[in-house]
Structure 1
Amino acid sequence: MPKRLFLIAICLTIRMILPGEIMPGSEEAISRKMLALRFAKDRDALEQFEPDLIIKEDGYRQFLRETYDLVDPVPFQRAFPLIDTTRVTAPGILDSALGLALASELGKERMIRDQQLQNYLNQVAALVASNTELPGLKPLCYVLDKIEPASYTLPGAYIFLTKGLLLQVNSEAELAFILAHEIAHIVHGHFYFSTTEYWRNLSAELLEQNPEKLNSIIDGNATELDQNYACLLEDTMQSNYEAVEALTDQAALRYLIRCAYSNHTIMDMLFRLLRFPPSSITQHYTKESVRSRMDALRNTIDSYIVHNRRTLDKDLRYNRYKAILTGRTQ
């Protein structure tokens, strides 16, 4: 997550979890957009992330027919049942509001707005999500016009991918793995596992030691946040990073095979990402993190297979949409 967005996320998280800081009334009665405006305070920036790009049902059914014209996913779903459906919770209105507020910040960067491409990304994401513990989840995908390979997952099922990352992908199966990884973060609530408990304790400490500083943070002024506190939280998240990423990749492999997608080029895709300088890559895709993920995957990826069953690559379909991006790089 970009540093600026990271600081804003901290401020918004504090505001959400402090007692008495949520707007009065039941959560269900609060408009997601109005709550997001309370955090972001930028109506114009929010407008572009209203859910107008949620997949159309007719188009999605056609997408599924084309996907499974020669492959039956049922044997894959039977061979790899979901492990635990009791420990996940669908994103609530606060998740969606925080995600919408953060998306409006990311949206200030240059984005690629192509309806066909976004519909396609949302369809693949919906297919992957339908094979998770939250089958009704409908992630919304957006593309940042940046050459560095990166992906960001925000609360409320907002997924940002960069053009540079999509250009390194060679098939729909590889795309599905990337989306499965991001969706696994959403399904298993990793954003809040990393922040909420820590910030409850820290906000209580701040309230006792420096209520003026805390009130400034609550008012939404990210520049008032002491960098030391940001570093503390970053250290907390980093200490759990490798373990969380390994678990997330394992969940992503299960979701991928349940969709009947092939995993035989996943390692090749990660290897391609090693070619980029560490300074240009976000935490997911530094050389060290990619190598760590590859080491963990190498020991288990071959176990995610259903013998004598054809799997999906859909490289031709993916490359039709990839051409939209390559046309923009000339």
Structure 2
Amino acid sequence: TPSIMEEPMCLIENNPKEQLRVNQEALKILQSIQQPVVVVAIVGLYRTGKSYLMNKLAGKKKGFSLGATIQAQTMGIWMWCLPHPKKPDHTLVLLDTEGLGDVEKSNTANDSWIFALSILLSSTFVYNSMGTIDQYALEKLQYVTELTKRIKVKSTPPKDSEGEEEDSSDFLRFFPAFVWAVRDFSLLLKLNGKPITEDEYLENALKRKKGTEKKLDLAKKCIRQYFPSRKCFVFDRPASRRALEELEDLPESKLNPDFLEQVQHFCSYIHEQAQAKVIQGGHTVTGTCE
């Protein structure tokens, strides 16, 4: 069937000094899908291991380009349509995005467009970061705070004078479930000496901290407001730094068993819990009406 692709294809092209452009060949493949689509997009800084997770979700060793060097590999948004491993008569659409924050790129303004597009296209949105959920990681989510400029919702004007909450509820109808994947995590999951879950770790990080500048809390507020469904996964470092260069080719026996278990947990959750894309009015999306 058209929904089975042997390898990923570029859906949104990001060429130097040009605006983003839709690849018509990829669009035709997408439009040929008659089944409901479960769309999972991953976004984050470049060189943070996004493609490895997406290949795992595809059940493949290779596919999306990993690239071991410091230069970002994925340009634009790449798409892989596969039969859903858990939901019969559904197609799993994986979207791997160009790494954000690459200083060598000629058009960094496209970063926020890629971020916004990933949110509009996906039913589950994975934000991938390194180390810990700290102020630095939150600042890199500046793109969340720009969403209202990028996404315009056609709706009747709010009746109340405040307006803001009405606007955000318009946004929420289009927004995917939010999953934060924290890579190379080395802390103990504890708060005030007591063990906490990954989700509790995320929620604590998103709380407004007294005395913090309002602008620094803006990303937290936007995530809380725009993404009512939130989930967190933490991952150990997969292997030694040297071995990471051959991650695609490393046998699983050479990878950190804790990391493998975490990846399995993540994939199981996405395969079982990620829902089909739904648009305004509760209509389930197929490739045809994307």
TM-score when normalising by structure 2: 0.29
Q: Highest CA radius of gyration, 1 or 2? A: 1
More helix by share: 1
TM-score when normalising by structure 1: 0.27
More strand by share: 2
